[in-house]
Copies of this chain bind each other. A is one copy, B any other.
Amino acid sequence: MSLKDSYESYRKNGIFFVITGPSGVGKTTIMDHTLESDERLAYSISHTTRDRRPEEVDGEDYYFVDREEFEGFRKEDRFLEWAEIYGDYYGTSREEIDRIKREGRDPFLDIDVQGAAQLRADPSVNPVFVFLAPPSLEELERRIDNRGAESPEVKEKRMGVAREELSRIPEFDYLIVNEKLKRAVEELEAVIKAERLKV
């Protein structure tokens, strides 16, 4: 075996990166930037029962399914994790993660704190958990406001959930604070690069 082959044998393959953070923190923007510059990453598409937004594509943003189908998957234990959020179901299928790993790529998943806790409890996967945090609660509120289209009740609910989520940062492997987008993207990229250099 050449030295290069032995180096390869020390590396991990199919590293599962899990990104969590409060709604409004900028997860999607940061993940999109990172996905664009990194062909080895593959966005893990979740199943959901929530309504498709006009700009969303089935099989690209989510696999949109009805409650009956979702519950069938659950009963067959086909979800690595699932959660009910604001009345809708979201889940990550084992098939989705296996498919990405079979392609020789690294699954990249956007998930909430509940889902992350389920993944942590499952010994069949060993993800790298990254928490994306806002610089302050005031800034998070401002970002949620800027998105618009939220009722005061939904906004208050989101802020409450955010406070609860932030208290669970110690359960994560890495903490990235999204103060400046460019810096947060660079930090996420450094985490991904470093994990791939692990023996």
Chain A positions within 8 Å of B, measured between CB atoms, are 2-4, 6-7, 10-11, 131, 133-137, 166, 169-170, 172-177, 186-187, 189-191, 193-195, 197-199
Tell me the complex Cα distance, A195–B174, Å: 8
A190-B199 contact in complex given A135-B3, A136-B3, A177-B7, C-beta closer than 8 Å: no
CB distance from A18 to the nearest CB of B (A): 14
Main secondary structure, interface of A, reads: helix
CB-defined A-B contacts under 8 Å, sample of 27: A2-B136, A3-B133, A3-B134, A3-B135, A3-B137, A3-B166, A4-B136, A7-B133, A10-B170, A10-B175, A11-B175, A131-B199, A170-B199, A173-B199, A174-B194, A174-B197, A175-B198, A175-B199, A186-B193, A189-B190, A190-B190, A190-B194, A191-B193, A191-B194, A191-B197, A193-B194, A194-B194
B174, B175, B198: the one contacting A174 at CB < 8 Å is: B198
> Which 3 pairs, one residue from A and one from B, show the smallest C-beta to C-beta distance?
A194-B194, A190-B193, A190-B190
* Complex contacts, A198 vs chain B, CB 8 Å: 173-175
User: Contacts A3-B137, A3-B166, A134-B3 known; A195 to B197 CB distance under 8 Å?
Assistant: no
With a cutoff of 8 Å between Cβ atoms, the chain B residues found around residue A2 in the complex are 136
Contact A197 B187 (CB under 8 A): yes
B177 touches A199 (CB 8 A): no
The complex places the Cα of A131 from the Cα of B134 at a distance, in Å, of 35
Closest-CB distance, A54 to chain B (whole angstroms)? 34
Chain B residues with CB under 8 Å of A4's CB are 135-136, 177
Using A3-B134, A3-B136 as known contacts, list a sample of 5 further A-B pairs with CB atoms less than 8 Å apart, ordered by residue number in A: A11-B175, A172-B199, A189-B190, A191-B193, A193-B194
Which residue of A137, A186, A187 has the most chain B CB atoms within 10 A of its CB atom? A187
